[in-house]
Structure 1
Amino acid sequence: MAQELDGGGLGGRGLGGDALEDGALDDGALAAQSAQSSGRQAQAVLDGDALGGSGLGDGALDGGALGSRGLGGDALEDGALAARSAESSGRQARAVLESDGRVRSAGRRPRRGLGDGDRAALRAWGATRLGMIVLAWMSAWVFATAATTPGPWLARWDRWDEGIFTSIAQHWYFAAGTDPRHVAFFPGFPVAMWLTHLLVRNWVAAGLVVSAVGSAVATVALGRLAAQEVEGAWVRRGRDRNPLDAVLRLPRMRGANNADNHAALKRAEVPDSEPASVPQASPRLPLTVRARAKRAGANAALFFTLAPAAVFLAAGYSESLFAAFAFSAWAAARRDRWVSAVVLAAAASAVRVNGLFLAAAIALEFVLAGRARRRWRQAPLLVVPALPVAAYVLYLHHDTGDWFAWQHAQAAGWFRTFRNPKYAWDQTWRAAFGASQAGHTAWVFQLELLAVVVGLGLTALLLLKRRWPEALYVALSLLALGTTTWFMSVPRTMLLWWPLWTMLGAWATRRPAVRTLYLCCVAPVMAGVALLFLSGQWAG
């Protein structure tokens, strides 16, 4: 006998007589079948949106948390979902359902290597790197004021912070003749340049190589996070329909015990406020969902590499290396790999002070995680990302006698002193629209204001979605940059807000016009910023 809900049946794997392997649900259909001694079968096919793919509501199914009831005769017991060990392999199939409906499967290992989505993200990265080469060629001629041959190609990338990083990599911080303000820059990127210089003997080229590798890694990690945005949204739609209600809509059958089913779901329930984690191994999703996830990853990668300040992902700046560590750390935290997460976050903290904001987000993710995702004995790991910052502060104090040498260098070199946000906004507004700066410099300050508005909107959206750790990360970044003399480097910091790119990528998958608008409106801004930087006019 078969019961079908909403016409969503697409067949499925047997539950009871067969093993439910790895928590995978087959392409939008949940089939339950058990053969008794009499040979009679009962089968229920539930709506692919209600009980499909990778989510079964706000509960956790753990190797049979809801029981392994037989489905005999004509009786399909309401709410009974069977889970059995795969006897041939001796492995128990486990599925832990997170608060957003995503299923983490512990019965199989995640696939290693690059998938189709990763390759799509890398294609977007590669295409935009070629675009940067074209812009570097253009910058040498578009702004030429004399009939002379432009200088070496690498010289166009030797701008501002790149020269500081090269100086630190060559001479460290306190060699004779070095600028004391260089201590405002953390040592992670110069160390990576020094190591690369062992193979690439030009310092500028070494910085470009570090940034190229870092941005490639960051793009792949971002593409994966964006793909999971689509998968999570698909599962949430099924969860919101309440799969328990779908089961209880079945006609009453012999032997049904709704009280037992409700109690089982209650015991397995995960609070709505608990943050979601990413599947350890992707559950089986409908082909259409997987295709949308792949497109979301490619969209996010393209948007990230065409962001207004994307030239700083190609230049010898620290954003790309930080993004590689930070995005990978967050992906590890979402997979409950806390050791990997804190080690990667520590590496990010060695590159930029933003690593402390990342550490705060990971710590909040850990605290809000359910018992199925973390153990309190792992809590001491959360201090690991702060260790590089503490070590750097101790190092500076040893040589300068100043516990606040980093902050004082920021104030001396870039006028970053603590101010209230309104003062910073007013100062930036005057620089942008008060006719106090040259035209292209005023335009740069306008971008700073726009980036702050985007950051505020992103923070509000994350709070509405109850994505507390990511909201904390973005909010701390805004607080650090919004309480100085004026807004500075906010578009560059916007590169590091992975929720912005993942949500945009998922949105563009649902609304293709978003991609078109982005390419038409944002890519030209990126080209303008790149031309200013490469021609030496970015900072006036």
Structure 2
Amino acid sequence: MITRSADRDALLLWFGTRFGLLVATLLGVSLHEYLGRWRAWDAGLFVVIAEYGYDGLPGRDPDAGLPAFFPGMPLALRLVHLVVPDWSLAGLLISLAAGAVATIFLARLAVFEGGTGWVAVLALLVFPTAVFLTAGYSESLFLAFAIPAWLAARQRRWPTAALLAAGASCVRITGLFLAVALCAEFVSSRPALRQAPWLAVPLLPLAGYSFYHYTRSGDWFAWKSAQEAGWGREMVWPWESFAKTWEAAMGGDEFAVAFRMEIAGVVVAVLGLVWLALLRRWSSLVYCGLQAGALMTSAYYLSIPRSLVLWFPLWVAFAQVRRRWIFVVYAMVSGPLMVLNTVRFLTGAWAG
């Protein structure tokens, strides 16, 4: 049974850890400078899209990489910006509110699956790349749709699950993997076939976004072309991707550390997939496995540790572990890495 205490614990952990990060990172910095530090990497690109659209900054050549970012976060930024003048603060507030929703439903999902809600939430919040749940990125907003969608599917409320998954599809391409995983969950539950048409609903935002860019550029897969044009992320064999990443990780430049993090992320991802397979969580394995396959067949590893915060089935599985010492060891190792990554992000370094 899902209880109010699970919601309370989730909110206490979420807002408590966010306040702790605020205090730890705000000291000795002016508020204006502090907000500017959060407008780094993708957070700044979301603001550009929200302010100027997919053509990018006025007076410059169009940024070919911008269509890689789905419109959910930029639209949310535009909405919040109506009452919050600072774009960086608007992004932080979106992630703060969305993260609260995501952690509440993560706790509810964990309890529904027979685990401990606060354990699932804390496992997520101390993960090394959890800084992206706070920054003006799309991770928190995606999870605020995806986790409630998954809980609804597990409760066999298919219309609700489909509509929430459609919201997730507006935010990230990961919504496509969620839609396929919902199909796997649907088949395994053997519901009435009259519910099946709902499974197409999460695909509608993806189709709409593709059509929008087709009208702009004639490219139905503009989001994929943007990945190739902006970051050189073409599909290759997995061993080629690993070899290129390994070579970069063994280098001596400033990005070598980042590529080592990527390789560590792959190790965690593979172990996580094996864990889900041993638990026979087949639909969860579809959701996580499709993401892993896409990321590990890119020209090189990029943002794999960050993508792992979206693997909510792992946090639910963690909540069911009865040997608490395992969780303590995990928190002792992962927590300091999370703080280190937060510092890296705020100093402009690549953090995942």
TM range (shorter): over 0.9
**Alignment partner of 1:399 is 2:280:** no
Look up the match of 1:383.
Answer: 200
**Alignment partner of 1:474 is 2:291:** no
- Aligned equivalents of 2:155 and 2:69: distance in 1? 31
Aligned-residue offset at 1:213: 0.9
CA contact (8 A) 2:342 2:351 kept: no
- Aligned equivalents of 1:430 and 1:338: distance in 2? 46
Look up the match of 1:453.
Answer: 267
- Aligned equivalents of 1:150 and 1:221: distance in 2? 32
Look up the match of 1:426.
Answer: 243
**Alignment partner of 1:315 is 2:315:** no
Q: How does 1:264-275 map to 2 (within 5 A)?
A: none
Aligned-residue offset at 1:444: 2.0
CA contact (8 A) 2:180 2:287 kept: yes
CA contact (8 A) 2:344 2:350 kept: yes
> 312, 315, 322: which one pairs with 1:498?
312
Give aligned-pair identity as a percent. 44
> 22, 35, 42: which one pairs with 1:133?
22
Aligned-residue offset at 1:436: 4.0
Look up the match of 1:519.
Answer: 331
- Aligned equivalents of 1:193 and 1:151: distance in 2? 18
**Alignment partner of 1:217 is 2:83:** no
TM-score, normalising length: structure 1: 0.62
Change (3 A) 1:329 1:150: closer
Deviation track 1:37-89 (CA, whole Å, cap 9, x = no partner) reads: xxxxxxxxxxxxxxxxxxxxxxxxxxxxxxxxxxxxxxxxxxxxxxxxxxxxx
Look up the match of 2:157.
Answer: 337
Aligned-residue offset at 1:435: 2.2
Aligned-residue offset at 1:214: 1.0
CA contact (8 A) 1:333 1:365 kept: yes
In structure 2, give the amino acid aligned to 1:488: L
CA contact (8 A) 2:77 2:94 kept: yes
Look up the match of 2:232.
Answer: 415
Aligned-residue offset at 1:506: 2.1
**Alignment partner of 1:174 is 2:58:** no
- Aligned equivalents of 2:292 and 2:36: distance in 1? 33
Unpaired runs of 5+ in structure 2?
A: none
In structure 2, give the amino acid aligned to 1:345: A
Look up the match of 1:27.
Answer: none
> 75, 84, 89: which one pairs with 1:191?
75
Matched position secondary structure for 2:318: helix
> 253, 258, 265: which one pairs with 1:437?
253
Deviation track 1:128-153 (CA, whole Å, cap 9, x = no partner) reads: 10122134236x67xxxxxxx89622
Unpaired runs of 5+ in structure 1?
A: 1-109, 142-148, 232-292
Deviation track 1:175-205 (CA, whole Å, cap 9, x = no partner) reads: 6445232111100000011111112121111
- Aligned equivalents of 1:311 and 1:463: distance in 2? 28
In structure 1, give the amino acid aligned to 2:14: W
CA contact (8 A) 1:430 1:436 kept: no
In structure 1, give the amino acid aligned to 2:304: V
Look up the match of 1:290.
Answer: none
Look up the match of 2:276.
Answer: 462
- Aligned equivalents of 1:192 and 1:150: distance in 2? 23
- Aligned equivalents of 2:194 and 2:136: distance in 1? 40
- Number of paired residues? 349
CA contact (8 A) 1:207 1:317 kept: yes
CA contact (8 A) 1:128 1:306 kept: no
- Aligned equivalents of 2:312 and 2:297: distance in 1? 22
Look up the match of 1:528.
Answer: 340
Aligned-residue offset at 1:315: 0.4
- Aligned equivalents of 1:523 and 1:134: distance in 2? 16
- Aligned equivalents of 1:473 and 1:305: distance in 2? 20
Which protein has the larger Cα radius of gyration, Structure 1 or Structure 2?
A: 1
CA contact (8 A) 2:129 2:351 kept: no
- Aligned equivalents of 2:10 and 2:142: distance in 1? 18
CA contact (8 A) 1:117 1:224 kept: yes
Look up the match of 1:357.
Answer: 177
Deviation track 1:229-284 (CA, whole Å, cap 9, x = no partner) reads: 3x3xxxxxxxxxxxxxxxxxxxxxxxxxxxxxxxxxxxxxxxxxxxxxxxxxxxxx
- Aligned equivalents of 1:490 and 1:132: distance in 2? 23
Matched position secondary structure for 2:124: helix
Runs of 4+ in structure 1 over 4 Å off: none
Deviation track 1:430-450 (CA, whole Å, cap 9, x = no partner) reads: 222x22432xx3222222112
Deviation track 1:428-478 (CA, whole Å, cap 9, x = no partner) reads: 11222x22432xx32222221122112112212222222111001110000
Give 1 or 2: higher helix fraction.
2
Look up the match of 2:123.
Answer: 303
Change (3 A) 1:483 1:135: farther
- Aligned equivalents of 2:124 and 2:31: distance in 1? 30
CA RMSD of aligned residues (A): 1.9
Matched position secondary structure for 2:20: helix
Matched position secondary structure for 1:200: coil
CA contact (8 A) 2:107 2:117 kept: yes
> 111, 121, 127: which one pairs with 1:227?
111
- Aligned equivalents of 1:166 and 1:503: distance in 2? 35
